[in-house]
Amino acid sequence: MLNYIVKRLLLAVPTLLGVITLLFFIIRLAPGDPVLYILGDMATPERVAALRKELGLDKPLIVQYIDFMSKALRGDFGKSFNNGMPAMERVLSSFPYTLELAIFGTIIAITLGLGIGILAAINRNSWIDLLSTTIVILIASMPIFWLAILLMDFLSVQLGIFPVQGIGDLENPISVLWHLFLPAMTLGLGMSATIARMTRSSLLEVLNEDFVRTAWSKGASKYVVIFKHALRNALIPVVTIIGLNFGYLLGGTVLLESVFSRPGLGTLLIEAVYARDYPQIQASVFFFSLVFIIVNIGVDILYSFLDPRIKLR
């Protein structure tokens, strides 16, 4: 197992270097001079030259690249053009808000997805199956920000149950949770569609296997057959789907933070994009992909626990 984890971690190193390289070059493709953008067109040539030197833009490209790479590997992406704070520091202070949204969203997605999937599978071809399949297909076709607006309109504007925007009073955990519920619910609902679909088809497949038939013939109860025998095996592809959908989840946080006016990594990225704050864009995107890579490694390791055959490949 340890070998597998080490191998998986080593494979992530070139990917991470590739991400940093892409971030370095993609920003250099931007039209216009970033220095003029920061200082404005009216800046004196002396000030332009001074800032160019400060940002290292006067050096040859290869030197800039090596410099960028060595700093990026230490988490140093320079200072935000916006407020002069270290870009990575701002990322780290925004991340907890995104993380809590992602964690609660995932919990809701797994609970709803597994629940709906299992219900649909054990009631195959009934009205429950038809209803859940229809809901799942509809939700899978909705952009997450539209789902957010629908829930916001219904639960916040019409019924007044949840707050419309914001993160609540940070001193009061209940207020924080209350403000978190609707964005997390939206994220969870959006992601639950694929989980439910996969759970249903995977469980139906496993329910036809010989070992499940044996369990039935031994006289095991429905509960034991489904939860003890079938579900564990049906979960393997479901875990993959959860891992694959983590990108959807991260992308979803960017959009939901915008809809619900929440602070977080997504809000930071979008603000940086509007302001063309390149160090901040690089630091935020780097962190997004770092989290994405780590979660994917985690999912692969979890997958090998659930299905020991994977390690042997």
Partner 1 sequence: MSSQVVVEKYEQIEEKEIEQEIKREFIKELSESKYFLFGGTIFFVVITMAILAPFISPYDPIAQNMRETLQPPSAKHFLGTDPFGRDVLSRIIWGSRISLIVGIFSVFFAIVIGVPLGVIAGYFRGKVDMIISRILDVMLSFPGIILAIVIMAVLGQSLNNVILAVSISMIPRFARLARGQTLSIREKEFVLAAVSLGASHFSIIKNHILPNILTPIIVQSTLSLGSAIIVEASLSFLGLGVQPPTPTWGAMLNLGRQYLFTAPWMAYSSGLFITLTVLGFNLLGDGLRDVLDPKMRRT
Residues near partner 1 (CB under 8 A): 14-16, 18-19, 21-22, 26-27, 29-31, 137-138, 140-143, 145-146, 149-150, 152-153, 157, 200-201, 204-205, 246-248, 250-251, 254-255, 258-259, 269-270, 272-274, 276, 281, 285, 288-289, 292-293, 296
What does R_g of the chain's alpha carbons equal in angstroms? 24
Burial class (CB in 10 A: 0-12, 13-18, 19+), 90: buried
Query: Which of residues 176 and 205 has its CB atom nearest to partner 1 in the complex?
Result: 205
Q: In whole angstroms, how close is the CB of 71 to partner 1 at the nearest point?
A: 19
Residues 6+ apart with CB under 8 A from 9: 297
Measured from the CB atom, the residue of 176 and 300 that comes closer to partner 1 is 300
Would you call 258 helix, strand, or coil by DSSP? helix
What does residue 132 show for φ and ψ, rounded to 5 degrees? -70, -40
Minimum CB distance to partner 1, residue 292 (Å):
6
Nearer to partner 1, 30 or 63 (CB): 30
Tell me whether residue 122 or residue 272 sits nearer to partner 1 (CB atom): 272
Tell me how crowded residue 167 is: count the other CB atoms within 10 A of its CB: 20
Token digits of residue 298: 């985690």
Q: Which two tokens stand for residue 23?
A: 């971030």
- Nearest distance from residue 68's CB to partner 1, in Å? 16
Instruction: Please check whether residue 164 is in contact with residue 156, taking contact to mean a CB–CB distance below 8 angstroms.
Output: yes
Q: Whole-angstrom Cα distance, residue 253 to residue 98? A: 7
Gap between the Cα atoms of 95 and 146, Å rounded: 24
Least spacing, CB of residue 273 vs partner 1, in Å? 4
Nearer to partner 1, 198 or 239 (CB): 198
> Under DSSP, is residue 168 helix (H, G, I), strand (E, B) or coil?
coil
The CA distance from 209 to 17, in Å, is 44
CB of 194 to partner 1, least distance (A): 12
Q: Identify which of residues 36 and 50 has a Cβ nearer to partner 1 in the complex.
A: 36
> Whose Cβ is closer to partner 1: residue 47's or residue 276's?
276
3-state secondary structure of 79: strand
CB of 171 to partner 1, least distance (A): 29
User: How far apart are CB 14 and partner 1 at their closest, in Å?
Assistant: 6
**Helices 173-207 and 246-259 meet at what angle, rounded to 10?**
150
